[in-house]
Amino acid sequence: MLYQELIRSKRDGAELSQAEIAALVAAMVDGRIGDEQLGAFAMAVYWRGMGPAETAALTLAMRDSGRVMDWQASLPGPVLDKHSTGGIGDGTSLLIGPWLAACGGHVPMISGRGLGHTGGTLDKLAAIPGYDPFPDPARFRSIVREVGVAIIGQTDDLAPADRRFYAIRDVTATVDCLPLIVASILSKKLAEGLDGLVLDVKTGSGAVMPDSARATALARALVQVSAQAGTPAEALLTDMGQPLATTAGNALEVAEVLDLLTGRRQGGRLFQLSRTLSARLLMLGRLA
């Protein structure tokens, strides 16, 4: 296949087929397509966009570029997760994971580092001495099965196409391309083998995507593509016009979460939003 022909087609506004997109993603993983061609493809998508079918095809091809977890035979309860687009003081994952596990859910969360000015969940957990973000797969599965929740980083065998493509987008000013954002987020989340997913899409001055119209479009696209992949999903638009927690800084935010989990502290924006997201997940998982 001549990848420059795919790039030309997208540059000229054509809709790519599922087979063409699958071939492109396979070439990302095995190295048959060069960085310069991937950069050109990303820029073509940035300017021309992708239709719903193209976005879904890209997402699923990137998900299937690596290992896709299958929990059906080993877990007694639903497999659930959430994704947040992030913001200062956003420790919702650290609250929601244990809460869902306590209610009978299982949360195999693949998380990431911060984006822009926000600290990611892995950045927060790195403040805990001895935390290992990359356990071997057997240990990860064992923890999810026995404890109910495990939060790890993206390993080499989970959506490897996304890992390479994101690095290209990062140096070609195409990170903020909506269909590529959708494919990047969902390729990792859908690789977790989920029964339900809730998406917390931030808007406001402190959000990665502050414009409410773009945030709404992202939320709708995420839900639509997830449904096409067979994973029920809901999205909430939430305000990031001010920090979510009462503290800022990875270690301080972890300490605040521990206070909320142990009952030493109650209430506040972080607690309320985490409770709302957890309730939606419990309903998706038929646990409430």
Q: What is the mean pLDDT of residues 51-62?
A: 97
Separation between Cα atoms, residue 25 and residue 123, nearest integer Å: 29
Q: Is 246 noted as a catalytic residue in this protein? A: no
Choose the catalytic residue: 55, 65, 111, 184.
184
Q: What is the DSSP letter of 204?
A: S
Choose the catalytic residue: 82, 106, 163, 202.
82
Q: Is 184 noted as a catalytic residue in this protein? A: yes
The predicted pLDDT at position 154 comes to 85
pLDDT digits (tens, 9 = 90+) for 206-234: 888 889 999 999 999 999 999 999 999 99
Q: pTM for this structure?
A: 0.92
Residue 31 has pLDDT above 90, yes or no: yes
Choose the catalytic residue: 188, 195, 200, 226.
188
Choose the catalytic residue: 83, 124, 164, 280.
83
Q: Is 74 noted as a catalytic residue in this protein? A: no
Choose the catalytic residue: 106, 169, 202, 280.
169
Choose the catalytic residue: 10, 106, 124, 189.
189
Q: What is the mean pLDDT of residues 249-278?
A: 95
Separation between Cα atoms, residue 58 and residue 172, nearest integer Å: 19
115 near 105, Cβ under 8 Å? no
The predicted pLDDT at position 117 comes to 65
Which residue ranges make up each domain of the chain?
80-155+192-284
110 near 139, Cβ under 8 Å? no
Task: Report whether CATH 3.40.50.980 matches the domain 80-155+192-284.
Answer: no
Q: Is 169 noted as a catalytic residue in this protein? A: yes
Q: What is the mean pLDDT of residues 99-118?
A: 86
Radius of gyration of the chain (CA): 19
Taking the CA of residue 68 as centre, how many other CA atoms within 13 Å lie in the half-sphere pointing to its CB? 15
Q: Is 83 noted as a catalytic residue in this protein? A: yes
